[in-house]
Structure 1
Amino acid sequence: MSDSVAMEAASFYDGLLTDGLAGPMHEQFADAMRARKLLFGDRLRCNVLRPRFIGERTYQEVQRGAVVVTRALTSLHDRLARSAELRQELGVPPLIEAFANLDGGTAVDPIVGRLDGLLDTTGSIQFIEYNPIPGASIEVDELADIFRELPPMRRLAERYDCYAPPTRPPLMEALRRSTAQMGVGARPPGVAIVGVIAAKNQPSIDTLQQFLQQQGAPVRVASPVDDWELLPEGLHVGGTRVDVLVFPYIATALELVTRHSARHPVVEAVRSGRAFILNGMFRSMLLGSKQLFALLSDPECAHLGDPELIAEARSYVPWTRRVREGKTIHEGRKVDLLEHVREHRERFVLKPEHGTGGEGVVLGRECSAEDWEAALERARAVPHVVQERVETPRESYPVPSVEGLRFEEHHSDLNPYVWSDSSVSGCMVRLAKGALLNMNAAGSMTPLFVIRGRR
């Protein structure tokens, strides 16, 4: 099925909305989000009245590409994890070495990662970065649940065969698979969420905690200075057995291994394999480096991982390079990297090698030549990558307002969750009026529904 039927479904859905329906519907929608704590700080997670629709063939290609790119990234990670010398040669930040001694040798499978991607103007998926500690996986399903109960979505489901790819079941399946490798057995794994949670992220942590508890998993929010104990039967905090440690912020894990004793019960438990950090902290730090996308993109670096996987993954990532002096190949032509990026700023984006929330990202098209030059100078001093901008079409979404229903143009992304490095189910979709798609930049979420065809 082509995405033309998805576009037709969106048009049908939008045609069901009227000013008379949109007001009460938005009240119902907003009340449901508040009841489920689907908030970013004090903002509602979703501020539009329609999900994103795509065709099944497009979703299947997103799934395929996400698995290929994740496996290629994992092949690079495996090589880097074995060689401190190679990490140093590539300029991997020294702080990562603190985690190499913590869980660099873990044999427990990762649970979940998220690739952030964009559908370009041809409808092809391009993945621009990897998030090794992804948020909002539960919220994706919760938003889909709310939309299913809205009148336009019920009418649409009568005419079109559609579904929202789930995230909650694969999360529990991946969690059980990983804890089984530790010998946890049939009992629900105990989970500790470690760190002081920023107010804007507290609703998301509450949602995760509530979901895991509903699945029978004991969950405790704790800090490194709480009453941790490593007993013969396992790691405990405040009387709760802990098998899985979730660090929403890498800074908390860094504090644990640098400021606290190596004999801290958490450190001893992770090193001895009696507890594990979600996705592995050493693994997360390596895979969170945007430089890995430069290694995927540059054919001269294919030998650093599985060459066949990397060659296949290259079609799913935009041209990316680490910012530094020297020559490189762009569109088949050898160019001076800095000079080329300076002269064609509208085609490129600068990103810190490590960082989340859109912090430090500079869009060449959105800034002056002087600001771009200043950004390039910063990028030479602190590790950055430069990435070719992915051109994406904008889409109109219904938005409630005090004047009534409006339709506003939005940019959108498509960010699949990859479970245990082997399967894809569910996508986070962010919307924004500007080109920077991030919740920190006043963005919005909406769920993804896949349209199989007409009934």
Structure 2
Amino acid sequence: MDPNYAWPPLGQPWTDLPESTRTAMVAAGAEAWQQIFYGCASYNKQWRLARPPALTADAFRELNEVCDRIVQLIFEACQRRARTAGELRRKLGVPEGETRLLDEDEVLHDGLLAAYRPDVLFSGGVPCIVEYNIDSSLGGGFDADTVIHRYADLYREQGLLEAMPVRPAPSLLDQRFVAIRDTLGLADGARVALLLDFLADYPGLETPDDFLRILSPLADRARNFGIDLIIAPVEKCTLTDDKRLVVGGAPVDALFRLFVPNRVTPSSGLDAVADALAAGTLPMYVSSAAWLLSNKLNYAWLWDDLDLLSETDQALIRRYVPHTVALTADQLDRALAEQADLVAKPAGGSAGHGVLIGREMSAVAWEDGVRAAIDAGGNILQRYHEADQVAMDFVQIETGETVSAVVPYSLAPYLFGRTGSGALARVGYPGCEQVLNLARGVLMTGILLTD
């Protein structure tokens, strides 16, 4: 890992491919967009990608190493302030009971870093890690993995990758099964529940049967790793008399939690999960304490602790982590004076909810929003980094027309068991806003790697 690594231009891995290959890949993707994106989450009714973005394998390896080191620094910053999950919750100002299934007495340990996905945008040609998602409930993984391997299969069928130094990023779904098995120490054939909150706000959850059918291939893949995967709604769980969790008509050996602990809908099923955890009969991937590590106030702690770190770690933070402070009353004057260069965010938020981008707001709206955030508490003030834009190719759903446009783009690599795998690319679309999240119509895919 080199703090001064020279990152290749964002669009170069794609443009380095022969023009004839690129043209054929775009044409193939535009023709097959319905099968490529079948079953994948999107609120966008106008556009689909005609091809995935590409990154050099060397740059992707470097990015994973940087992300892994910075998540360790986040964890160490938390350990300097708290010994247990309960102490950390109080330091972060998270209300008691907000993080469901949290064991307040759980000692902070390395196992909390079993799954994480940083959100990275490139700004000025350099990755900027705007936040970390540290938890098992990482969104987008199924879609990213499914889409990129459908693209790769399509290209292979048409002979487009023959003799080309191009391949899909490693399967993040496979690496996650490896991490689940190894982290929980599961015996071969262990029955593992994958639980989702079907009452949450996510595209597709409104039709549970269809959603479960789309996810069903996961159970087949899990068998390759010695896991008998049962996919079910969390609200359907029950308990045996000896406090074992029952899913799909029988007790399970472990839980893979794919719901967010501070947004999961209360239910008798969730109560059953809590009772099984309290009884010690349900190993869970991962503990809800991991979610506290995602709190964006941890970014402010990184900057507060800068003088305690080695020169190399200081250089990593200065280069890759946007300057962040807690948004309190003493920051008001700075927030108003530097409006164009700042973003205000809820420290415990996600999916872009409550984010205020100074340069996109009037002075009055910004001041009102910042004052309200200070009064509410639990917000951060972060240096704004504008996302670099990259040329991408799209197909218009209604007409089938292929369109090229320069759009913002972000990357979210997945690391399970501290091991890099695939990545979620969130790509803007013609005429989109700067905030790249699912609710605003962003297009999602995995990535290609080039040698």
Q: Give the TM-score normalised by structure 2.
A: 0.82
Does the CA-based 8 Å contact 2:85-2:106 persist in structure 1?
no
Match runs of 1:213-292 below 5 Å: 213-216=220-223, 217-224=228-235, 226=236, 228-230=238-240, 232=242, 234-242=244-252, 243-251=254-262, 255=266, 264-284=271-291, 286-292=292-298
Show the counterpart of 2:3: none
Show the counterpart of 2:164: 159
Does the CA-based 8 Å contact 2:410-2:436 persist in structure 1?
yes
Among candidates 332, 336, 343, match of residue 342 of structure 1: 336
* CA shift in 2, pair 1:406/1:223, >3 Å: closer
One-letter identity of the residue aligned with 1:287: L
Among candidates 134, 147, 153, match of residue 138 of structure 2: 134
Measured after TM superposition, the shift of residue 86 of structure 1 is: 6.3
**Do residues 318 (structure 1) and 322 (structure 2) align?**
yes
More helix by share: 1
Aligned equivalents of 2:131 and 2:293: distance in 1? Answer: 9
Aligned equivalents of 2:416 and 2:107: distance in 1? Answer: 20
Does the CA-based 8 Å contact 1:431-1:443 persist in structure 2?
yes
Q: Deviations over 1:336-379 (max 9, x none)?
A: x3222211211111111112211111111111111111111121
Does the CA-based 8 Å contact 2:172-2:421 persist in structure 1?
yes
Show the counterpart of 1:362: 356
Aligned equivalents of 1:207 and 1:311: distance in 2? Answer: 44
Aligned equivalents of 1:268 and 1:360: distance in 2? Answer: 33
* CA shift in 2, pair 1:179/1:205, >3 Å: farther
Does the CA-based 8 Å contact 1:48-1:400 persist in structure 2?
yes
Among candidates 427, 430, 433, match of residue 431 of structure 1: 427
Aligned equivalents of 1:167 and 1:43: distance in 2? Answer: 27
- Consecutive unaligned residues of structure 2, counting only runs of 5 or more, are 1-5
Does the CA-based 8 Å contact 1:39-1:204 persist in structure 2?
no
**Do residues 119 (structure 1) and 122 (structure 2) align?**
yes
One-letter identity of the residue aligned with 2:127: I
Does the CA-based 8 Å contact 1:170-1:419 persist in structure 2?
yes
- Consecutive unaligned residues of structure 1, counting only runs of 5 or more, are 327-336
* CA shift in 2, pair 1:87/1:234, >3 Å: closer
Match runs of 1:121-200 below 5 Å: 121=124, 123-131=125-133, 132=135, 133-151=137-155, 154-155=159-160, 158-180=163-185, 184-197=186-199, 198=201, 200=203
Q: Deviations over 1:223-252 (max 9, x none)?
A: 44x451235594223423321142423356
Measured after TM superposition, the shift of residue 13 of structure 1 is: 6.2
* CA shift in 2, pair 1:398/1:222, >3 Å: closer
Does the CA-based 8 Å contact 1:229-1:265 persist in structure 2?
yes
Does the CA-based 8 Å contact 2:26-2:51 persist in structure 1?
no
One-letter identity of the residue aligned with 1:293: Y
* CA shift in 2, pair 1:13/1:252, >3 Å: same
Does the CA-based 8 Å contact 1:102-1:270 persist in structure 2?
no
The SS at the match of 2:37 is: helix
Does the CA-based 8 Å contact 1:66-1:424 persist in structure 2?
no
Measured after TM superposition, the shift of residue 41 of structure 1 is: 5.8
Measured after TM superposition, the shift of residue 411 of structure 1 is: 0.4
Does the CA-based 8 Å contact 2:300-2:326 persist in structure 1?
yes
* CA shift in 2, pair 1:13/1:92, >3 Å: farther
Measured after TM superposition, the shift of residue 16 of structure 1 is: 4.8
Paired residue total: 424
Runs of 4 or more consecutive aligned structure 1 residues displaced over 6 Å after TM superposition = 306-310
Measured after TM superposition, the shift of residue 105 of structure 1 is: 4.8
Does the CA-based 8 Å contact 2:84-2:104 persist in structure 1?
no
Measured after TM superposition, the shift of residue 128 of structure 1 is: 1.0
One-letter identity of the residue aligned with 1:351: K
The SS at the match of 1:155 is: coil
* CA shift in 2, pair 1:147/1:308, >3 Å: same
One-letter identity of the residue aligned with 1:178: T
Moved more, 73-82 or 133-142: 73-82
Aligned equivalents of 1:82 and 1:21: distance in 2? Answer: 51
Does the CA-based 8 Å contact 2:42-2:441 persist in structure 1?
no
Show the counterpart of 1:332: none
Aligned equivalents of 2:311 and 2:283: distance in 1? Answer: 31
Moved more, 153-162 or 243-252: 153-162
* CA shift in 2, pair 1:8/1:438, >3 Å: closer
Instruction: Work out the percentage of aligned pairs sharing the same amino acid.
Output: 18
* CA shift in 2, pair 1:25/1:218, >3 Å: closer
Q: Deviations over 1:274-322 (max 9, x none)?
A: 21343211321x122111111112336x76xx87896465232110111
Q: Deviations over 1:20-69 (max 9, x none)?
A: 996774242312422xx22336859x812121112233212211111011
Moved more, 78-87 or 107-116: 78-87
Does the CA-based 8 Å contact 2:121-2:127 persist in structure 1?
yes
Does the CA-based 8 Å contact 1:341-1:348 persist in structure 2?
yes
Measured after TM superposition, the shift of residue 111 of structure 1 is: 3.7
The SS at the match of 1:26 is: helix
Does the CA-based 8 Å contact 2:25-2:51 persist in structure 1?
no
One-letter identity of the residue aligned with 2:345: K
**Do residues 379 (structure 1) and 373 (structure 2) align?**
yes
The SS at the match of 1:47 is: strand
Measured after TM superposition, the shift of residue 386 of structure 1 is: 1.1
Among candidates 390, 411, 414, match of residue 395 of structure 1: 390
**Do residues 441 (structure 1) and 447 (structure 2) align?**
no
